[in-house]
Amino acid sequence: MMILIFIISIAVLLLCIMKFKLNPFVALLVVAALTGLATGMPLATKTLEDGSQVLGIGTVIQNNFGSTLGSIGMVTGLGVMLGMFMYESGGINNICNAILKVLGEEKSQYAVACAGFITGIPVFGDVVYIMFAPMLRALSKKTGYSMAAYAGAISVATTCTFALVLPTAPPLAVAANMEINVGLFFPYALISAFVGMLVGGIVYGGFINKIDRKNGKTWDFSDLEEEEKEEAGGKSMSGMMALSILLVPIVLILLGSFSSFFLKEGTVLTVLTFLGDKNIAMLLGVLYGAFISRPYLKRSITTIMSEGADAVGSILLITGAGGAYGGILKACGISDVVTSTLMGFHMPMLLMCFVIAQVLRIATGSTTTALTVTSSIVATAVATSGVSPILCAIAVCAGGIGLSLPNDSGFWAINRFFHIDFRDTIVGWSLGGFVAGVTILIFVAILSIFQGVLPGLM
């Protein structure tokens, strides 16, 4: 019954948004409440005889809405401001021109995917989308290359590294739960992530671009055109200077992430860890961006910051509602039922690792949750299966990449920041991620044939 309710809830959500054009924020909250009711969750929080509490539907929605905004709210607002400074100074235009000069229009997606692949290791996915979105929109306007393909390329690449490449949290959790050597896991996971990015981000993105061009699909760049008119005739920031605005928060986050590997506990490490916090790093990036872009701006810094703060409101509402819907799915026990059901099927170990993680990814809307739970579930079975635990761990991670649906806050971040419609988000990101995940599964299945020969797999 739980699985049926889950399928119906996803179907109703898609119907509300695609068919009835209901605002995604409202649709997510309505479907979240209806799902809670259908699964028998209490309307109000109850205290049991043993003193424990069962949270009511309203409380679960409120808590998860708040926790989602708490994790991304500040960095989202700052990221939009950072992008506006880069754009209004003319710097993004010059970065785009440099990329086109080096690679040409038809190969610009390679640079986009590689940038996401590298940046996704130290930087949380939503932050990458926020920072790169203005540049990619300008690039799409210049080249005519599909905006859906660009959005898919960078989001697939970023998620491949987030799900597979140490020292991000999900693969660390998988390695710990499955008791595998991270030193042996790292190179195989890195290569697998690259293969997934290549097929799901670049090759599949090229396919989307061909279809969109054949169909004559266009995107709304009117906001960019108006800003370009205002900038006409004025001096603009160089591409390298604009790139430095992007690099400041990235470098700070990198230092914060990796300094503990090289430094002992002390003042220096504490300071670097503080500066590497994503919120602090983005704040410093915005302050730096405001300072160096000032001579090139046609409007005041205060006006640009205020406009950025206003623009982020609807994005945060939708993202928070996505977190609320995902919270209901977890609280009502749907993810547990789905997992136990899948364990009853007899299938090859690598495939089972992938499928369980993929279904939990769909059900919870969270890569981290899907990978952490799946690795805990399959750890014992993997140990006695005869299949390399390292390859099984990669299969688990691959299952957490694709089929992002509207209960995933990242789905709405990509949808809103890249200014693409619901269909483009599904085609470019949801399906692109699935292609990447399946590609990685096939890749590790091939590696498993040689696991007795390849070093470290057995």
Q: How far is CA 362 from CA 52, 226, 297, 366, 421, in A?
A: 29, 39, 43, 8, 20
Say if CB 338 and CB 3 are below 8 A apart: yes
> 237 pLDDT exceeds 80?
yes
Q: What is the largest CA-CA distance in the chain?
A: 73
β-bridge mates for residue 47, sequence order: 53
Amino acid at 393: A
**Strand boundaries in 87-226, DSSP class E:** none
Residues 6+ apart with CB under 8 A from 424: 147, 148, 151
C-beta of residue 379 within 8 angstroms of C-beta of residue 179? yes
Q: How would you label 221-256 residue by residue, b for 16+ Cβ within 10 Å and e otherwise?
A: beebeebeeebeeeebbbbebbbbbbbbbbbbbbbb
User: What letter represents residue 212's amino acid?
Assistant: D
Q: Give CA–CA dist 245/91, Å, rounded.
A: 10
Here the tokens at position 232 are: 């006409």
| pLDDT the model gives residue 87 | 76
How far is Cα 433 from Cα 309, in angstroms, rounded to an integer?
30
Q: What confidence tens digit (pLDDT) does each residue in 111-127 have?
A: 888 878 876 765 556 66
Q: What angle do CA 9, 15, 20 make, to 5 degrees?
A: 135
Residue corresponding to tokens 């991670």: 397
Output the CA angle 147-150-151, nearest 5 degrees: 85
CB atoms under 10 Å from CB of 126, counted, come to 23
- For the cut 60, the answer to whether the pLDDT of residue 153 exceeds it is yes
Please enumerate in sequence order all residues whose Cβ is within 8 A of that of 6, keeping only pairs 6 or more positions apart, or say none: 35, 329, 334, 338, 363
Q: Are 342 and 10 in contact (CB under 8 A)?
A: no
**Cα–Cα–Cα angle for 366, 369, 372, rounded to 5 degrees:** 145
* Per-position DSSP letters for 248-294, written without gaps between them: HHHHHHHHHHHHHHHS-SSHHHHHHHHHTSHHHHHHHHHHHHHHHHG
Hey, what amino acid is at 456? G
Highest mean predicted confidence (pLDDT) among 122-136, 143-157, 176-190: 143-157
Q: Which pLDDT score is estimated for 212?
A: 92
Tens of pLDDT, residue by residue over 311-322, are: 677 667 876 887
The confidence score (pLDDT) of residue 197 equals 94
Written in H, E and C, the secondary structure of 35-80 is HHHHCCCCCCCEECCCCCEECCHHHHHHHHHHHHHHHHHHHHHHHH
pLDDT band at residue 230 under the 50/70/90 scheme = low
Residue 362 confidence (pLDDT)? 84
Q: What distance in Å separates the CA atoms of residue 395 and residue 437, rounded to the nearest whole number?
A: 8
Domain ranges of the chain: 3-46+54-331
Distances (CA, A) of 62 to 43, 176, 321, 322: 13, 32, 9, 12
Instruction: Assess contact for 85 and 305: CB atoms under 8 A.
Output: no
pLDDT, greater one: 54 or 440: 440
Helical segments of 165-221, H only? 169-177, 182-196, 204-214
Q: Between 157 and 21, name the one with better pLDDT.
A: 157
Alpha carbon of 217 to those of 87, 205, 253, 421: distances in Å? Answer: 24, 15, 37, 12
pLDDT tens track for 372-392? 777 877 887 888 888 899 999
User: CA geometry: angle at 359 spanning 1 and 389, to 5°?
Assistant: 130
H helices, E strands: number in the chain? 22, 2
For CA atoms 20, 416, 431, 32, give the dihedral sign.
Answer: negative
pTM above 0.75, yes or no: no
411-420: pLDDT as tens digits: 888 888 898 9
